[in-house]
Amino acid sequence: MSGLVIAIIAGWVIGKLNLRHWVQDWFTRPQFGGSDSENAKLKFTDRIQYGYNAVKEIVGKVWIM
């Protein structure tokens, strides 16, 4: 929970102080699996399934640690 709060505050500070040029380009690009055109073609139900699978994968990685 505290990590989320720190990330939100840091993002807000970066925006307010106009420090976005210090943020690496790869960090601001979407990191979703596939190109934008592939993601644009997904149906709503496919997006829900994709999100569910992503959450399941992340929780599985955290649970193992």
Instruction: Provide the pLDDT for residue 40.
Output: 64
Length of the chain: 65
Q: What is the pTM of this model?
A: 0.38
Q: Hey, how many other C-beta atoms are within 10 angstroms of the C-beta on 44?
A: 7
CB atoms within 10 A of CB 14: 14
Answer yes or no: is pLDDT of 36 > 80: no
DSSP annotation string for 4-65:
HHHHHHHHHHHHHTT-GGGS-HHHHS---SS-HHHHHT--HHHHHHHHHHHHHHHHHHHHH-
Q: Model confidence over 1-25: pLDDT tens digits?
A: 788 888 889 888 888 888 777 776 7
What count of other Cβ atoms lies within 10 Å of the Cβ of residue 48?
Answer: 11
